Amino acid sequence: MPRNKLNDLDPKKWLKFQKSWFIHNPPPRKKGVLVHPAKYPETMAQEFIEFFTKQGETVLDPMAGTGSTLIAALRAGRNSYGIELNPKYADIAKHLIDQERKSLGPSTPFGHDVEKLKSEIVNGDATLAINYQLPLFDYILTSPPYWDMLHATGAGGQKKRRDADDLDVVYSEDPHDLGNIHGYEEFVEKLVGIYRGLKSLIREKAYLTIIVKNVKKGGKIYPLAWDIARELGKTYTLKDEKIWLQDNQSIAPYGLGSAWVSNTFHHYCLQFRNE
């Protein structure tokens, strides 16, 4: 194998990651992050970070939530920054990162000095990312709100959250929160605008991974993943996609006997490159 300029993986692990689909069933969420209505697993984020960066490089999540990307980066021996609009989630993320540092001890499994690794959460608006005096990043890994779907009253998972006193149903009531935009075209435009605004913060030839899926609303599918790919492909080079599958979900009888309504258990992991 020629000199590996992208990551620290051996050829066997490199080739395994190059499959266009993978199955990852997240481990149970810890009590501290259940309050957040949607998050992706640190275990999966770490696999992406280890493929698209080398140890000691720096990762950004502009919509950090409760800090999954930063925790994964810490485990992988990478520096990381996150921007989170909701102050409650920003505080939770800081707490969880501190806990992770304590659990890792003085060094990561890769031998990195934990104290020397940066894991910083900025409580702010991702549209203002260039104003936060951030460093140049080697990789961006993130997952956006899936439009305003958390406002949908008919979703079974959302009903359970509404019945609980201590779980959030939506991300926030902040008008700057993209999850509160109800017009689809406006949502896509503002979301893509945020990612475009990060271009000056990403080094040349660095990658950006967006984990997202198409959404169903009012008996119609809105191709959110494909629209992001098309529009953001005008700023970055769309290189590929990986399909994240979950096979541990219960199947519901949507439309049984009358209409086609799928049980959707897959997400698109869109890979862009700053070229």
The amino acid at residue 56 is G
Question: What is the side-by-side order of every strand in the sheet holding 266-273?
Answer: 21-23, 237-245, 266-273, 202-212, 137-142, 58-61, 79-84, 119-123
What is the pLDDT at residue 170? 47
Helix (H, G, I), strand (E, B) or coil at 46: helix
Fold of 11-249+260-273: Rossmann fold (3.40.50)
What is the pLDDT at residue 217? 85
Residues 6+ apart with CB under 8 A from 33: 39, 66, 92, 96
Separation between Cα atoms, residue 98 and residue 227, nearest integer Å? 37
Q: Which two tokens stand for residue 78?
A: 């990478």
pLDDT band at 161 (very low <50, low <70, confident <90, very high): very low
Separation between Cα atoms, residue 231 and residue 193, nearest integer Å? 10
Q: Which two tokens stand for residue 126?
A: 């991702």
CA dihedral 243, 249, 252, 257 (to 10 degrees): 50
* Claim: this prediction has a pTM higher than 0.85: yes
Contact 194, 127 (CB under 8 A): yes
Closest CA to 100 of 65, 128, 73, 139: 73
Poorest-pLDDT segment among 14-28, 39-53, 141-155, 199-213:
141-155
Higher-confidence position of 145 and 160: 145
Instruction: Parse the chain into domains and list their residue ranges.
Output: 11-249+260-273
Q: Model confidence over 101-120: pLDDT tens digits?
A: 998 887 776 667 888 999 99
* Residue located via tokens 């104290």: 115
Start-end of H helices in the chain:
11-17, 42-52, 68-76, 87-104, 156-163, 184-196, 224-232
